[in-house]
Chains A and B, each alone.
Chain A
Amino acid sequence: MNDLPLSARPRILFVDDEPRILISLKAIFKQDYDVTTAPGGALGIDLIKSEKFDVIVSDQRMPGVTGVEVLRAAREHQPKAVRLLLTGYSDLNAIIGSINEGEIFRFISKPWSNTELRATLAAAVRASSVDQIVIPASMEVSANQQPPSGVGVLVLDDDPQTFATLKHALESSRDVFAASTVDGCLEILGKHSIGVIFTELVVGGEEVALLLSALREHHPSLVVVVITHQADAGHSIELINHGQIYRLLLKPSSDSVLRGTVNIATRRFQMLSQNPEQIQRIVVEPNPQLQAPAAGGLLSRIKKIFTSSWAS
């Protein structure tokens, strides 16, 4: 890579208020990438507006402008750029904001391991090689119109209230399915064409994270929205890094938010189905738990479902 001419190298922007962090990062990546640094959120946004980058990495806690704001600006001005958050400690609100508003690719925690950071950056650069197809409608606009039909929505929650709320929010005969267990979820996935899945984090005492990782691996175009009342920072980071969830909603959510989310998630599913190369942009780190023998059964089931019904 370092043989490439400077102009052909992927461009990476690092935003952090601590200059020593920027020095370190530059020391790591200057060999392989065209590294630009911005010592603060405001300066970062200025650069985003004026220059093209492939990958944008930002700290969260910065004076004046937070990381979420930087990433939101990046998504707006440079949708092609893959966005990462590099943070020492983030409260839940920041994490949820970066998922929903920043459509973030990865969370990286400080202190980091250079090796892992290189791998993550490499993955981000690969993801950025595919142009982002922008789904034009913003959530506010789409909240008022009916989502396109023909895409099944599956609600995976042992609390029937979620299903009822969603059904009420959609006010239509859209294909909405409910499952209260992981097995039930797989069954429905096998029988019906599901594009969007709304899921709680723990269903019937079982954590859904592993299922989401497995689904991401075998059915990458499936759009996952997590809707939960017990979100915590660690979980959410996992969900992004290993599951690339699309949205994280907290219960209770208003009807308009739910409708808007279904709308935009459905469009995203359609976009992903029509443009399979876009899946490149949302690849995940392989979940180490998937390699565990316990996950074998689940994996093979999922594999079976998607080879039999989805391949055809």
Chain B
Amino acid sequence: MLQRAIVVAAIFMALAVLGFLVLKTQSTPQDLNQHIDRVSKITRLQQLNAEFDQEIAKARLGLDAEPKALAAAQKKYQDEANAFSEGNAVLKNVSADVEQALTAYFQTARQKEQLLSDYRSQLSEYNSKFREVREEGQQVLAQVAQREQVRKQVMVVMVEATTYCIAAAPLNGDYLDRLTSTLADSVPESDNAALHRRLVVLASAVRSVRFAKDNLQTKTQALLAVPVADALQKVLNQYYNSYATQESSISRYRLLLAIYASALLLVFALVGWRLRYSYRELDRSNAQLQDSNAHLEESVQARTQELRKALSDLRLQQTQLVQSEKMASLGQMVAGVAHEINTPLGYARSNVETVREAATGMRALIDSYEAAIKTPDAANLAQLTESRKNWNPDEGLEEMAVLLEDADHGLGQISELVMSLKDFSRVDRSMTEMFNLNDGLENAIKICQNQFKHRIEIKRDYAELPRIPCAPSQLNQVFLNIITNGAQAIDGEGSIQISTRDVGDVVEVIIADSGCGMDEQTQAHIFEPFFTTKDVGKGTGLGLSIVFRIIEDHRGTIRVKSAVGQGTEFVISLPKHSVKATATAAHGSGQTETESCPA
């Protein structure tokens, strides 16, 4: 989940970086147009500035003419310059350097403007001074037309003054000064006072126009010295610089983009290769899957075979276990029965042997009697006495009678025991028959009682019971098992109460012992196979599970009530009219055993 989120984020990042780089390297045609426009505008401004400067230079040559060309050039330049100054419209947002250069330019432009207005006033002053000189000169010339010397002198002054005014850097200043200072002297006041005055006025006019010209010259110099062109050039240079910077940054981004794109491509190639590899793996496992799919049938078959074998093994084992449980309870039974049979067998056999031995003595006595009857001589009578001493017929016959009677009794006991064993196992009877449960209980008691008859009292409380359809040998086994368990639960002396009841449709058998009882946990498990509280080797733990199965086969129920220290009570309830007493599982493999166990 997290991994997937990380992958998605990485892809988005990669795409975002790619987009950013593409954006950075984008130089639209608009940009180019703008660039061309900007450059041309700056260039044009430069050109206009140059023209404007030219006009300024020309203007002072205009002498008395109005500087119209200058005004026109200034107007044109001003218009163009306004485009820049109006919020830096043309070179807006290019770069700080450009802005700075532009600001410097605007400063110099303003300076130039100020100087220009000075210049213009100076220029008009100069123009009026010049006009004054010309008019004065023409008047003087008109007055001195007869005086060739003076006229020449005035003409020279006029020419020199005009030359001074026209030349950009006049060299005839000193000469003009000299001429001017001597001009008035050419016509002494005494000669012609009026003319002399005129000449003095003219000379001062020339001096003032020279002064005005010098002034104008200085202004012009100052005006032309204002570095507008430089500033403009700087703006242009800065713009070029910044444009180049921008271009180079774009090209740097372009390089970066190229590198990034190729790296991205490499990554994609890697992913692709990886994907291809995965796909190949997938293909292979897919093929395997198909292969195993094809073999599934076979393996299922094989597995089924194995399972079937395991099942049959299990059944066999179960049968063996049930058998071993039977053998174990049989062993216990045999232990008791052997003692019970061996005791009467012991005395019966011994008695028979004793009687046979006595028969020898009897035979000797009879022989002695016969001999004495035939020939009652002393020897035979002595023999008879001897024989009587060896075997006393009074005692001997009585003893023989007792011994034979005991032997008979012993044999009777044995045959009774054998009968009850036979009744119990019912090997010679049909499996299912009508049977009185009281008889079954008696059989079971007879079989097992000898094991504990001296310490445990059996209390019987039988009701009149109808005979019910059942498998007696199985029920006998059930009773034997429960009674034996009860006896084993009693440590020392105690009692087992066995009751039967006829309750409606069912017959109940209640077997209650006064033994140690069980806790609830044990009670919950007692009918499970292999559950045992006995020591290892003392029981297989199958007894009560078999009991449970037998009762269930009879469509009956078995309940247990117990408390630790208060004994245990089993209540078996069997139907009087069984649907069908299934006795087929009598020696069976216990197929239903596990299912029939309580959870």
Contacts and interface: CB of A to CB of B under 8 A. Distances in A.
Nearest to A21: B347
In this complex, which of A24, A109, A112, A117 has the most chain B Cβ atoms within 10 angstroms of its Cβ?
A24
Contacts, number: 71
B280 interface: no
A114 interface: yes
14 contacts: A18-B343, A21-B343, A24-B351, A24-B406, A25-B350, A27-B354, A27-B399, A27-B403, A63-B455, A88-B339, A89-B342, A109-B342, A111-B348, A114-B354
In this complex, which of A27, A62, A114 has the most chain B Cβ atoms within 10 angstroms of its Cβ?
A27
B455 A114 contact: no
A87 B340 CA distance: 11
A110 B403 contact: no
A89 B403 CA distance: 23
B362 to A, nearest CB: 14
10 closest A-B pairs by beta carbon, nearest first, are A63-B454, A88-B342, A110-B346, A89-B339, A88-B339, A111-B346, A110-B342, A89-B338, A24-B347, A24-B350
B353 interface: yes
Contacts of A21: 343, 346-347
A20 B344 contact: yes
Nearest to A63: B454
Contacts of A91: 335
A17 to B, nearest CB: 8
Interface residues of B, number: 28
Contacts of A294: none
Interface in B46-63: none
A187 B409 CA distance: 57
A113 interface: yes
B345 interface: yes
B347 A28 contact: no
A160 to B, nearest CB: 25
Interface string A61-76: 1111000000000000
Interface of A: 18, 20-21, 23-25, 27-28, 61-64, 87-89, 91, 109-114, 117
A15 B454 CA distance: 16
Contacts of A110: 342-343, 345-346
A89 B335 contact: yes
Q: Is the interface of B mostly helix, strand, loop or mixed?
A: helix
B297 interface: no
Given A88-B339, A88-B346, A24 B454 contact: no
A1 B403 CA distance: 24
A109 B341 CA distance: 12
A23 B406 contact: yes
In this complex, which of B343, B351, B357 has the most chain A Cβ atoms within 10 angstroms of its Cβ?
B343
Given A63-B455, A88-B339, A89-B335, A111 B345 contact: yes
B457 to A, nearest CB: 12
Contacts of A61: 339
B349 interface: yes
A27 B391 CA distance: 13
Nearest to A2: B390
B410 interface: yes
Contact of A18 (B341, B347, B353): B347
Contacts of B335: 89, 91
A111 B350 contact: yes
A164 B545 CA distance: 44
